[in-house]
Amino acid sequence: MNSPVDDKIEHPTAGIIIIGNEILSGKVEDSNSPYLCKELRFLGVEVKRMVTLPDEIEVIGRHVHQYSRDYTWVFTTGGVGPTHDDVTIEAVAHGFGAETEESPQMLEVLEGYYGERLNSAHRRMALIPSGAELMQLPSMRSPQLKYHNIFVFPGVPELVKSRFSSLKEIFRCGEIFLKQIYLNTEEGEIADALDATCEEFSELMLGSYPALWNKDFRVKLTLESRTESYLEEALGFLMSKIPDQNIIRVE
């Protein structure tokens, strides 16, 4: 199993699992994965894989278990609630061969919120995988569920943002430095320069993105590294391979 929260992790990775038939059917647009990717990148965590899954226990459980083995952190969003299609908690437990149990802590939260309106459907939200941790978050009514290295979030984007914001410093590990080059030429004209840079700077994360309908530039290059001096050296090398008249600006 991957390292616990308080371990020092040099190059942390993450996998994101978006859960919900409504996403796959196009009824709801996923905004959680773009948000998590940007935030994790800023914290120095490299997102290695994302997947969107239907509300199926077997499928979710299999993916959660595999992601937990492959990546430092796993984030799931969606499928947490009182209705028939809210199966994430059960699926996470199933993926690890664990049982679910009613959490007195979660039940107390639900009783405080629903009062006399609390019913059997509401009580389903008090079920957690056996051995899971409930993390109390500042300004949040209900605690955050963590199971091994998996953080189970609801699907509502506002709740994902508020919960992740409260947790984000847990994941911080250095910084990924970024430089961007905007060009007025096409990718085919700079392919050799990119190949030479990748060969010379094997640890550089180099991306090339054509902008076919952009009036300002035709290609954007992104250079990323965990070491600022390494990034600056790679930037200088790459720019020396591209004619000055093709470089619009560097940011």
Summarize pLDDT for 29-52 with one digit per residue, the tens.
999 999 999 999 999 999 999 999
151, 68 Cβ separation under 8 angstroms:
no
In angstroms, the CA 183 to CA 244 distance is 10
Predicted confidence (pLDDT) at residue 3 exceeds the cutoff of 50:
no
Q: What is the identity of the amino acid at 216?
A: D
The total of other beta-carbon atoms located within 10 Å of residue 94's CB is 20
Q: Could you give phi then psi for residue 54, rounded to 5 degrees?
A: -75, 170
The predicted pLDDT at position 9 comes to: 65
> What's the CA angle centered on 77, arms 103 and 95, to 5 degrees?
65
Is the CB of residue 127 less than 8 Å from the CB of residue 102? Answer: yes
d(CA 35, CA 20): 17
The three-class DSSP label of residue 244 is helix
Q: How far is CA 247 from CA 185, 197, 231, 239, 241, in A?
A: 8, 16, 18, 8, 11
For residue 212, pLDDT beyond 90: no
pLDDT tens digits, 47-96: 999 999 999 999 999 999 999 999 999 999 999 999 988 999 999 999 99
Confirm if 129 and 95 have CB atoms less than 8 A apart. no
- What is the reported pLDDT for 139? 75
Q: Domains in the chain, please, with CATH?
A: 13-170 (3.40.980.10), 177-250 (3.30.70.2860)
Tell me how far apart the alpha carbons of residues 247 and 184 are, in angstroms, rounded to a whole number. Answer: 7
- Residue 92 in tokens: 């996470």
- Give the tens place of pLDDT for each residue, 170-190: 999 888 899 999 999 999 999
Kindly list the distances between the CA atom of residue 154 and the CA atoms of 160, 163, 238, in Å, as whole numbers in the listed order: 7, 9, 43
Predicted confidence at residue 141, as pLDDT, reads 84
Structure confidence at residue 8 (pLDDT): 43
Question: 10 Å Cβ neighbour count for 192?
Answer: 10
Give the Cα separation of 48 and 198 in Å (integer).
Answer: 19
Residue 4: pLDDT above 50? no
Where residue 228 falls (left for φ over 0; alpha for ψ -120 to 50; beta otherwise) is alpha
